[in-house]
């Protein structure tokens, strides 16, 4: 690989050491976990200013734990380890995360990490869309101590997040989903190597009468510089009976929720159309998962 | 750039190496250890012909920094079998099923298939195709490759 200004590859043993190295190298510091995103930037010549790679694989940030009913995915937990977790495979509420984890091929699932997928701040990544639908919270540590940042509002622009200089992600906490909650995720891409045209993550909570008590819809892919909460579609669904009529209304409303790009992969009009189709499909799947 | 002194465990043997900090695992395997089974294809994590196992799981060796692979067990196609030591059943099945055209993707395909056969004894066609979803055959010879993986599973 080629990083023309790289001076050293560090493998710190503690988060404190990692933070000190990031501060020492400033703008030239690049954190590496699975390396898949770093490599993607490198081959596009976007890392020519990097002077130090700081590998966080030895910080002990991998693994899945429970704090009461909250599930904590350690930052360096691989996508494969999350996909293999029993609750991800079984519980309808984790349906969107389960679906999103099927898109990367095994080689990426075995290397890529949860923290990396969030830190990348690229709406083309599937996993954070599902985590946003789950209402996840990012946990960080840095020069000023630990912070908890809701994923809603974490992404500020393409490759830009709420992380402060020297701050690193230690994990992602998922609050317990309410009863009768299910999710689903779908993505359209021209092929498995290309960037997503549109992705949709939906999370539905129904009350005893089959009405929508809570809903979160997240759009990703080529829908803008960051993920988009589809607030218009959510408003169209809130309090409604979870039937095809309500889903069709939401599919119509979602086209006003974002300003998609037009490029060789698809026009803005096409992306709006697909967002509606995929929203309806994910809502239908989520409803089916509730039985 | 400061070279890094590392010890890499490849196919059960330890190698002491001085590597560049931005050298990929693929570069080290091919250029320093003469293990040319893993191929350089797209060199950007898309085609899969550089696939190797790290701690028993298949990864793209082009995307992994060699300095970050220290302390992990790396297995290349050379490590699963050879004409001298006896072919792995996947290697034999690829020959018998005629699953090789130009051959450039074959080593990566077999390493991806090996993870599947290590975990699923009798995979169905969907499982086989998903297992090699991260590997491109530019000759488009997928049908014979799927046949070969099924044959290898049947011979277990």
The residue segments making up the domain with residue B129 are: 89-154
DSSP summary character for residue A92: G
The pLDDT, as a whole number, for residue A66 is 97
Pairing of strands B4-10, B73-75: parallel
Q: Are A70 and A48 in a shared domain?
A: no
Q: Nearest C-alpha of chain A: how many angstroms from B24?
A: 6
- Whether residue A35 lies within 8 A of chain B, CB to CB, comes out as yes
Residue A2 lies in a domain: no
Q: Are A191 and A117 in a shared domain?
A: no
Q: Are A135 and A192 in a shared domain?
A: no
For the segment A247-262, the average pLDDT, to the nearest whole number, is: 96
**Domain end among A37, A55, A73:** A55
| A1 with B21: Cβ contact below 8 A | no
The pLDDT, as a whole number, for residue A1 is 61
| A106 with B43: Cβ contact below 8 A | no
Which candidate in A31, A59, A107 is best for mutational testing of the B interface (most B CBs within 10 A)? A107
Beta bridge partners of A214: A205
Q: How far apart are CA A14 and CA A16, in angstroms?
A: 5
The residue segments making up the domain with residue A22 are: 8-55
Q: Are B57 and B110 in a shared domain?
A: no
Answer yes or no: are the C-beta atoms of A215 and A237 closer than 8 Å: yes
Residue A77 lies in a domain: yes
CATH code, domain carrying B114: 1.10.150.120
Q: Concatenate the DSSP letters of all residues of B82-111 into one string.
A: BTTTB--HHHHHHHHTT--SS-TTHHHHHH
Q: Nearest C-alpha of chain A: how many angstroms from B1?
A: 4
Q: Number of helices (H) and strands (E) in chain A: give both, helices first.
A: 11, 14
Q: Structure pTM?
A: 0.96
Mean pLDDT estimate for chain A = 95
Residue A90 CB contacts under 8 Å (≥ 6 apart), including other chains: none
Residues 51-90 on B with a CB inside 8 Å of A are 51, 54, 57-60, 62-65, 67-68, 70
Q: Which residue of A has its CA nearest to B131?
A: A106
Burial tier of B134 (Cβ tally within 10 Å: 0-12, 13-18, 19+): buried
Answer yes or no: are the C-beta atoms of B51 and B39 closer than 8 Å: no
Tens digit of pLDDT for each residue in A107-149? 999 999 999 999 999 999 999 999 999 999 999 999 999 999 9
Report residue A69 as tokens.
């009913």
Q: Are A162 and A74 in a shared domain?
A: yes
Q: Are B65 and B100 in a shared domain?
A: no
Q: Nearest C-alpha of chain A: how many angstroms from B95?
A: 24
Q: Are B38 and B10 in a shared domain?
A: yes
Compute mean pLDDT per 10 residues along chain B, 156 residues long, and list them.
Answer: 92 97 97 98 94 98 96 98 96 98 97 97 97 96 98 96
Q: Are A136 and A216 in a shared domain?
A: no
CATH code, domain carrying A252: 3.30.390.50
Q: How far apart are CA A271 and CA B117, in angstroms?
A: 39
Residue A208 lies in a domain: yes
| A105 with B1: Cβ contact below 8 A | no
> Which residues in chain B are contacts of A107 at CB distance < 8 A?
45, 48, 51, 58-60, 112, 134
Q: Which of B131, B119, B74, B141 shows the shortest CA–CA distance to A107?
A: B131
CATH code, domain carrying B14: 3.10.20.30
**Domain end among B51, B80, B109:** B80
The pLDDT, as a whole number, for residue A53 is 96
| A1 with B133: Cβ contact below 8 A | no
Which candidate in B46, B120, B123 is best for mutational testing of the A interface (most A CBs within 10 A)? B46
Which pLDDT band holds residue A237 (cuts at 50, 70, 90)? very high
Look at residue A110 and give its three-state secondary structure.
helix
Q: Are B106 and B130 in a shared domain?
A: yes
**Domain end among A139, A157, A174:** A174
Answer yes or no: are the C-beta atoms of A119 and A41 closer than 8 Å: no
Tens digit of pLDDT for each residue in B125-138? 999 999 999 999 99
> Which residues in chain A are contacts of B140 at CB distance < 8 A?
none
Answer yes or no: are the C-beta atoms of B72 and B54 closer than 8 Å: yes
| Count of domains observed in chain B | 2
Tens digit of pLDDT for each residue in A137-196? 999 999 999 999 999 999 999 999 999 999 999 999 999 999 999 999 999 998 777 788
Q: Nearest C-alpha of chain A: how many angstroms from B45?
A: 7
Task: ipTM value, please give it.
Answer: 0.97
The pLDDT, as a whole number, for residue A194 is 79
Q: How far apart are CA B67 and CA A5, in angstroms?
A: 17
Q: Are A234 and A148 in a shared domain?
A: no
Q: Are A102 and A154 in a shared domain?
A: yes
Longest pairwise C-alpha distance within chain A: 62
The side-by-side arrangement of strands in the sheet containing A198-206 is: A181-188, A198-206, A212-221, A228-229
Q: Are B21 and B74 in a shared domain?
A: yes
Ramachandran sector of residue A221 (left: φ over 0; alpha: ψ -120 to 50; beta: rest): left
Q: How far apart are CA B141 and CA B126, in angstroms?
A: 17
| Count of domains observed in chain A | 3
| B22 with A106: Cβ contact below 8 A | no
**Domain end among B80, B101, B127:** B80
Residue A133 lies in a domain: yes
| A193 with B46: Cβ contact below 8 A | yes
Q: How far apart are CA B75 and CA B115, in angstroms?
A: 11
| B68 with A35: Cβ contact below 8 A | yes
> Which residues in chain A are contacts of B130 at CB distance < 8 A?
102
Look at residue A255 and give its three-state secondary structure.
helix
Residue A207 lies in a domain: yes
Q: Nearest C-alpha of chain A: how many angstroms from B146?
A: 16
Q: Are B94 and B130 in a shared domain?
A: yes
Residue A1 lies in a domain: no
Q: Are A189 and A216 in a shared domain?
A: yes
**Domain end among B29, B56, B80:** B80
The pLDDT, as a whole number, for residue A239 is 98
The separation between the first and the last C-alpha atoms of chain B, rounded to the nearest angstrom, is 48
Q: Are B65 and B31 in a shared domain?
A: yes
**Domain end among A131, A146, A174:** A174
Q: Are B73 and B94 in a shared domain?
A: no
Q: Are B122 and B96 in a shared domain?
A: yes
Answer yes or no: are the C-beta atoms of B151 and B90 closer than 8 Å: no
Ramachandran sector of residue B53 (left: φ over 0; alpha: ψ -120 to 50; beta: rest): beta
Q: Are A73 and A47 in a shared domain?
A: no
> Which residues in chain B are contacts of A105 at CB distance < 8 A?
48, 133-135
């Amino acid at each position: 690989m080629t990083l023309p200004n790289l001076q050293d590859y560090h493998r710190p043993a503690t988060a404190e050491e990692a933070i000190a190295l990031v501060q020492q190298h400033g703008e030239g510091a690049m954190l590496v976990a699975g390396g898949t995103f770093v490599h993607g930037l490198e081959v596009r010549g976007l890392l020519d200013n990097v002077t130090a790679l700081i590998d966080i694989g030895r910080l002990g940030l991998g693994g899945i734990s429970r704090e009461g009913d909250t599930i904590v995915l350690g930052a360096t937990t691989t996508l494969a380890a999350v996909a293999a977790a029993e609750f991800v495979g079984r519980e309808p509420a984790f349906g969107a995360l389960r679906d999103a984890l099927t898109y990367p091929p095994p080689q990426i699932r075995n290397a890529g990490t949860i923290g990396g997928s969030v830190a990348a701040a690229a709406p083309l990544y599937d996993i954070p869309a599902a985590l946003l639908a789950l209402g996840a919270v990012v946990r960080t540590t840095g020069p000023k101590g630990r912070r908890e940042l809701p994923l809603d509002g974490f992404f500020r622009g393409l490759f830009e997040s709420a992380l402060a200089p020297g701050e690193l992600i230690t994990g992602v906490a998922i609050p317990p989903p309410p009863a009768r909650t299910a999710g689903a995720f779908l993505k359209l891409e021209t092929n498995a190597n290309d960037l997503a045209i549109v992705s949709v993550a939906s999370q539905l909570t129904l009350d005893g009468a089959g009405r929508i008590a809570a809903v979160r819809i997240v759009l990703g892919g080529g829908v803008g510089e960051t993920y988009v909460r589809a607030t218009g579609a959510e408003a169209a669904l809130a309090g409604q009976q979870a039937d095809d009529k309500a889903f069709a209304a939401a599919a119509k409303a979602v086209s006003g929720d974002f300003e998609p790009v037009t490029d060789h992969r698809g026009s803005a009009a096409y992306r709006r159309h697909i967002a509606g189709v995929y929203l309806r499909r994910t809502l239908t799947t989520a409803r089916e998962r509730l039985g | 750039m400061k070279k890094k002194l590392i010890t890499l465990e490849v196919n059960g043997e330890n190698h002491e190496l001085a590597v560049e900090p931005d050298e990929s695992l693929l570069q080290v395997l091919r250029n320093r250890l003469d293990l040319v089974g893993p191929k350089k294809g797209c060199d950007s994590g898309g085609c899969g012909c550089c696939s190797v196992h790290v701690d028993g799981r298949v990864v793209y060796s082009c995307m992994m920094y060699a300095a970050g692979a220290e302390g992990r067990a790396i297995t290349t196609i050379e490590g699963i079998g050879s004409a001298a030591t006896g072919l792995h059943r996947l290697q034999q099945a690829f020959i018998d099923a005629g699953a090789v055209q130009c051959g450039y993707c074959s080593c990566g395909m077999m390493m991806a298939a090996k993870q599947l056969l290590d975990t699923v004894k009798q995979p169905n066609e969907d499982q086989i195709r998903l297992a090699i979803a991260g590997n491109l055959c530019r000759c488009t010879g997928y049908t014979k490759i799927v046949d070969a993986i099924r044959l290898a599973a049947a011979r277990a």
